[in-house]
Amino acid sequence: MTAVADDSATELTSDETVRSGLQLGNRLRGIVLSLLLLGLVGASANIGQLGRLGRITFWIVVVVATSAVVFVSLNLMVSLARRSWTAYRSLTGALLGGIGFGLLRGNRSVGALVADSEFQLILDDGEAIVVEDRALVDAIAKIADPTLIEYATGVIGLVEWPILGAVLGAFAGMATGFADRRVRLAIPTLIGLGGGWIVGGNLLFRNRPDASLTTVAVMTVIGAAVVGGASYLAGKRCVLVERCLLGAALGATAGGWLLPDLSGGSATTSQLVCMIPLGLVGLRFGWPSARDANGMASFDRRARAVIFLAPALTFLTVNLVVPAIRTIITSFQDRDSEEFVGFDNYRELAGSERFLDWRSWSGDDGTWNVLTSRLTWGGLFLIVVGFAIAASINWTRNRTRGLDHSPTSRGSILVGGVLIAFAFFSVIRGTLPNTIWWMFTVTIGATTLGLAMAVLSQKAGRWESIAKSLVFMPMAISMVGASVIWRLQYAPKNTSQKQTGVLNAVWVELGDLSHAGVEGSDYPGWIRWAVLIALGTILARIGFTIWARWQRDEGFAAAGVMAVIVGWLFIEILLRDLGGFQINDDGSIQAEAVAFRELVQPFNNVYLMFILIWIQTGFAMVILSAAIKAVPEELHEAARIDGATESEQFFNVTLPQILPTVGVVLTTILVAVAKVFDIVRVSTGGNFGTNVLAHDFITESFQFLNRGVGSAMAVVILLIVAPVLIFNVFNMQKAES
Amino acid sequence: MRNGNSVIDRAYRKLSNVPMWAMWGIVVIWTIPSLSLFVNSFRSRTRQRQTGFWEALWDNDRNFEAGCPEEYLRDDLFHVLENYCVVLSNDQASGMLTSVISSLAIAVPSTIIPIAIACFAAYAFAWIDFKGRKPLFIATVALLSIPLQVALIPLLRMYLGGAHFTVPFTERTLTLIPDFDLAGGPWAVVLTHTGFAMPFAIFLLHNYMSSLPDELIESARVDGADHFSTFMRLVLPLSVPAIAAFAIFQFLWTWNDYLIAVIMLNSGTPEVFPTTQRIANLAGDFGRTEHLLTAGAFVQAFVPLVVFFSLQRYFVRGLLAGSVKG
């Protein structure tokens, strides 16, 4: 995909990695053993759990071993084909015959010896009744005295059906090994006809097709013509006859089974209808001549491709593609998926305030709330400042009008943009804007913080790996666990109690500090002044740094950010406005905690988003850190010789080099966030205006039991993610060629 | 700026190194939440409710209130571990042991089965030359970005009642997959995980297998090895690092999954709930068991953390090799 993937691939193939792979094997064994031991120790307290562990292990082993045996034997079968074509064909025939006849029996199309056979009773007045229960037959026989009882039971039983199929198939396969072409064609055809005769004769009454032979004949010809014609047009002339035979068999099946009504046909018809397709299949089976070495190789390739791919493609189709298509179909159906309703579900979704809520868009007096929001003006201010800085840099450097962006200007424009976006998200509510807000915030937040960690940790020397491990650790914690962890951090307690959550404890303490000396605060008044003086000193120092760097024409982004933070603290403490407090009537203050998850709507969403940022930052950091390390040292060297500062090196050398990786990180996180469910579920249950599409979809489908609208929500998620999908596939094709 | 070498100058340089402070700031902020969970999991119900975790530094207590059976309280260690003692017991209301086993029953097969299946497919895409290989591979990887939600409900219906197909223009319904009554049991979750893991696993393993040297595979073919033995004897052993990377990734993913479990197991008995579902239910039930949530969440996170810290290198490698997983 990118430089990262290529790099890791080459790294993976080195000898060192193979050795480390072996080491890993040992370590894995250690872990598995200790886990088992742990389980045993834990389980020893309770024998019942031990038994359950044993049962589960047994079933896992059985399933895995069976699948392995099937896979290996199929491969051995194909290997056998090289040595003995006849043996291979017999085995294939036996397998196909056995499975085919077994399926017929399993679907209860053909009769069996005792248990669920059928009886047809022809009563005196000529009416025919089909009964499945022998006791019932006897009861009816006593009352109605039927003239004829016909048994649809064969002499062939449950187990005998597949065996019979296997034997017939094996003989047919063996016959295809004969050198004489007439024998090769005749025997499988005869076996096919015979098999059809047996199956047709044993069909249960309810499955006897009321077919007309003309239809069967016409459909046979049509099938042969269609499949053969397609094969001819595709340029496969060497297998034309085989394709025609296959098409004929398919056509005969359709004409005999799909078009006419089932049940009501005579025994002879059903026998004929079985014999025609099976005979054609037999003929097709015997048609090809023995293969030369070249044909053998291509057969081997194709057979292996099928065996190796079939399990994966089956899972992909059954578990992913078909369900996705079904969801798209149900999104156009009513709540019980019975009638098609067109776009009604989407219309209902778009019209509901749960999905998209414009009520906060304008205030009572008709003003736009976006324009009265402090976020908008703060954001606009930052953007203006950013452009002003860029223009002034350009002016000092080149004495021309225009823009010359520095990290400071870019940073403030970016932050300003984020603030304005937040302003919009805070007035347009509903699950759709919330989902997009999540995607926006978490993607930008995690990527920026991850990039910062990746860059900063490089200079941490021997502490680098520890620092990175600690930031990376949340990746191993489940979103449910993370939500529980952050519930502890966000926990609010009412005014009379001590705060148990870190954030509220700090916030309430800050409120106390900024009101030091006021009735109700724990701090004496001088502390506030001491803090103000300290902050003022720091502010002055930062101001001096900025001025000095400005004079030397150097960047001052970090110092600028520091100045903003410290300046904000200074002003807030000066104005006695910082922290969680409330002012009583008598002027004394009282602690007031923030109910982060519940009451601070709509910004409680941001606090939930931070949980995911906490998880995803480590991911972004690891990927970006690897990309940064892959940037060739010579580039930095050259930049250093040209006199670039470290931040210039980062923005002009490193960042352009790792840009594709940043793209990968962004898209990966974007797709992950679109599906966020666990955090919302555990933290708020979707209440307090924090619902997102992926969570609401569950509520709609399982609580409101509206499958139509629920599916429509899933499709909306798919549509949000689809651009990323197209982007990924596009990138991939570029990388492949 | 000062460039001297005296103690004061060095200290000044350290203190004025703002980027370093910013980094450690992030590290501390990222560590405190996990630390608070860990510390609180050893504290009693009253302490957890009344004071913050940091007060454990000077306000140590013996944990007497969780309700652990008398016979476990033999010495001091068990007093501190009392929350864990309850959480790891077989208590129906708050015990996690059952769900730990259920999680294993889901995570272990959901790791092994996709690896096996994806290895076959990755080998076929990398080394077997068949028609339509490239478009098929691209289609497979394109499925990476399909959100789970799109497929979940029809899958659940399939596990509840099998798969049936009504032939168009006729009234006939064919049973394609009979009803195995899988919903409500771990195999439904395992099969779902297997399907969803497929695109990523194939992508990752294919990237690795196709980077193996051509000459190696060719020489094996010249020696008369067919695809099966080339795969089993050569490619599979060489791919152990990539397989390990994916295995760790998949194990963490399945152990930590909540969405698939909650949908597929909703109709099952609480016995089959994995740890995540258990914790989520405990979290939704304020009151008696709230103080056990911390110990429970730590038990839930313990297994992935062990896997993570002991095999971090391989995990990182897996992330690097296939950072497109959604």
Q: Please check whether residues A667 and A640 belong to one and the same domain.
A: yes
pLDDT at position A118, please?
59
Mean pLDDT along residues A221-230: 88
Is B323 at the interface with chain A, CB within 8 A? yes
* Boundaries of every domain in chain B: 97-321
Q: Is residue A467 in a domain?
A: yes
Write out residues 421-450 of A within 8 Å (CB-CB) of B. 449
**Beta strand residue intervals within A102-221, DSSP E:** 119-122, 128-131, 148-151
Q: Is residue A58 in a domain?
A: no
Q: Please check whether residues A487 and A610 belong to one and the same domain.
A: yes
Q: Is residue A613 in a domain?
A: yes
Q: What's the domain count of chain A?
A: 2
Residue of chain A with shortest Cα separation from B101: A53
Q: Please check whether residues A449 and A513 belong to one and the same domain.
A: no
Q: Is residue A447 in a domain?
A: yes
Q: Please check whether residues A503 and A487 belong to one and the same domain.
A: no
Tokens at A320, concatenated: 């992913």
Is A467 at the interface with chain B, CB within 8 A? yes
Tokens at A457, concatenated: 């940790």
- C-alpha torsion A112→A113→A118→A124, nearest 10: 140
Per residue in B246-264, pLDDT tens? 888 899 889 999 999 988 8
Per-residue pLDDT band at A4 (split at 50, 70, 90) = very low
Q: State whether the Cα torsion B12-B17-B22-B23 is positive or negative.
A: negative
Per-residue pLDDT band at A21 (split at 50, 70, 90) = low
Per residue in A470-521, pLDDT tens? 898 898 899 999 998 998 888 887 777 778 888 888 888 888 888 877 777 7
Q: Which of A48, A315, A501 sits opposite B117 (nearest CB)?
A: A315
For the ranges A152-166, A395-409, B191-205, which has the lowest average pLDDT?
A152-166
Q: Is residue A488 in a domain?
A: yes
pLDDT at position A371, please?
79
SS3 B95: coil
pLDDT at position A3, please?
34
| Angle between helices A322-330 and B148-161 in degrees, nearest 10 | 100
Distance of CA A716 to the CA centre of its chain: 15
Most confident range (mean pLDDT) of A43-52, A54-63, A146-155, A484-493 is: A484-493
Q: Please check whether residues A570 and A644 belong to one and the same domain.
A: no
Write out residues 58-77 of B within 8 Å (CB-CB) of A. none
Q: Is residue A498 in a domain?
A: yes
Reply yes or no on whether the pLDDT at A456 is more than 70: yes
Mean pLDDT along residues A426-433: 87
Q: Is residue A180 in a domain?
A: no
Q: Please check whether residues A471 and A603 belong to one and the same domain.
A: yes
Q: Please check whether residues A497 and A536 belong to one and the same domain.
A: yes
Q: Please check whether residues A539 and A474 belong to one and the same domain.
A: no
Reply yes or no on whether the pLDDT at A619 is more than 80: yes
**C-alpha–C-alpha distance, residues A480 and A680, integer Å:** 9
For the ranges A20-34, A143-157, B294-308, which has the lowest average pLDDT?
A143-157
CATH number of the domain within which A728 lies: 1.10.3720.10
Which CATH number is correct for B97-321, 1.10.10.10, 1.10.3720.10, 1.20.1260.10, 1.20.1070.10? 1.10.3720.10
Reply yes or no on whether the pLDDT at B292 is more than 60: yes
Distance from CA of A300 to the nearest CA of B (A): 9
Q: Please check whether residues A713 and A614 belong to one and the same domain.
A: yes
In the Cβ-directed half-sphere of A677, how many Cα atoms lie within 13 Å? 24
Residues of chain B contacting residue A500, judged by C-beta atoms under 8 Å apart: 48-53
For the ranges A144-148, A149-153, A189-193, A207-211, which has the lowest average pLDDT?
A149-153
The counts of H helices and E strands in chain B are 17, 2
Q: Which of B33, B36, B228 sits opposite A79 (nearest CB)?
A: B228
pLDDT at position A9, please?
40
Distance from CA of A6 to the nearest CA of B (A): 8
Reply yes or no on whether the pLDDT at B37 is more than 60: yes
Per residue in A293-328, pLDDT tens? 677 778 888 888 999 999 999 999 999 999 999 999
Q: Is residue A674 in a domain?
A: yes
Mean pLDDT along residues B166-185: 71
Tokens at B200, concatenated: 């990523």
Q: Please check whether residues A502 and A641 belong to one and the same domain.
A: no
Residues of chain A contacting residue B206, judged by C-beta atoms under 8 Å apart: none
Q: How many beta-carbon pairs under 8 angstroms link A with B?
A: 414
- Length of chain B (residues): 326
Q: Please check whether residues A482 and A624 belong to one and the same domain.
A: yes
pLDDT at position A14, please?
47
**C-alpha–C-alpha distance, residues B32 and B54, integer Å:** 10
Cα end-to-end distance, chain A, whole Å: 11
User: Using the beta-carbon criterion (under 8 Å), do B301 and A476 form an inter-chain contact?
Assistant: yes
Write out residues 16-35 of B within 8 Å (CB-CB) of A. 18-20, 22-24, 26-27, 30-34
Q: Which of A449, A484, A725 sits opposite B283 (nearest CB)?
A: A484
Range of the domain at A501: 493-594
Write out residues 261-300 of B within 8 Å (CB-CB) of A. 262-263, 266, 276, 279-280, 283-284, 293-294, 297, 300
Q: Please check whether residues A479 and A513 belong to one and the same domain.
A: no
pLDDT at position A633, please?
85
Domain boundary among A534, A560, A594: A594
Is A591 at the interface with chain B, CB within 8 A? no
Mean pLDDT along residues B206-225: 84
